[in-house]
Copies of this chain bind each other. A is one copy, B any other.
Amino acid sequence: MPAKSLPVENDGPDETAGPSKSEQTRALILETAMRLFRERGYDRTTMRAIAQEAGVSVGNAYYYFAGKEHLIQGFYDRIAAEHRAAVREILDRETDLESRLAGVLRAWLDVAAPYHEFAVQFFKNAADPDSPLSPFSQESEHARLEAVSVHREVLAGARRTKVPEELRDVLPELMWLSQMGLVLYWIFDRTEGRERSYRLAERGARLTARGVALARFRVLRPLVLEVHELFTDFLPGMTKVLPDPGRRAAATE
């Protein structure tokens, strides 16, 4: 894959400018690490080896990434950024919830395809929700918020879908959770071209669209809220997601 600039860290403006030298170095280290993780496995790859292969000093590598775990966060951020770019066209075109969601899930499978082998190896490091490498960890928050915000947009732009106010923050997170279910399935999918995962994406989108449509019934809302509450109470990273007033304000416009 091309070593393009990845302004995925939320550390300032500069997003319209071309990639700075610093961004290029950062991207190069990340590329190299991902390649070595794929070739040698995460556990057997050292920061020293990554620096060496990238042609930078060890100190320089540590300047950009405080450790291997941070490289994984960089990887999550990259996937999230690539995904966000890939869904732009779908979200601008599709107007019904099922098509929007199916498109977003398919785009994720497309973006992640080159990393499948790595994901299989890496799974045992990321499955533990208390690991900083888990998608639920505090450390993964940046990538997770990016991903949840895609689902927020999926929902907000679905023309015929009326979402009750009280579910507006909750549903995008549940949709992201079901995307995590798809990711888990994809990791173990050995079919040619991950064909089953693509089918699951379609089916999952249909099911979710139905679920969201039903969530407008007043009798169901407490259940939806309780499901969400259960996840936020029992998964580490999610607890802090809801009460952030900035996000809440953005969601209601």
Give residues in A with beta carbon < 8 Å to B: 123-124, 127-130, 185, 188, 190, 196, 200, 203-204, 206-207, 210-211, 214, 217, 219-220, 222-223, 226-227, 230, 233-234
Contact = CB atoms under 8 A, between A and B. Distances in A.
Nearest to A185: B234
A223 B230 contact: no
A190 B210 CA distance: 37
Contacts of A128: 188
B196 A234 contact: yes
A210 B226 contact: yes
Given A130-B190, A190-B130, A223 B211 contact: yes
4 A-B pairs closest in CB distance:
A124-B124, A128-B188, A200-B234, A203-B230
- Total copies of this chain within the assembly: 2
Contacts of A206: 226
Contacts of A211: 223
Given A127-B127, A217-B219, A227 B207 contact: yes
Contacts of A219: 214, 217
A101 to B, nearest CB: 14
Chain A interface secondary structure, helix, strand, loop or mixed?
Answer: helix
A127 B210 contact: no
Contacts of A226: 206-207, 210
A227 B219 CA distance: 19
Contacts of A123: 124, 127
Given A214-B220, A223-B210, A226-B210, A233 B203 contact: yes
Contacts of A127: 123, 127, 188
A200 B233 CA distance: 9
21 contacts: A123-B127, A124-B124, A127-B127, A127-B188, A128-B188, A129-B185, A130-B188, A130-B190, A185-B234, A196-B234, A200-B230, A200-B234, A203-B233, A203-B234, A207-B226, A207-B230, A210-B222, A210-B223, A211-B223, A214-B220, A214-B223
A195 to B, nearest CB: 12
A234 B206 CA distance: 15
Contact of A230 (B124, B204, B227): B204
A132 to B, nearest CB: 14
A204 B227 CA distance: 9
A214 to B, nearest CB: 6
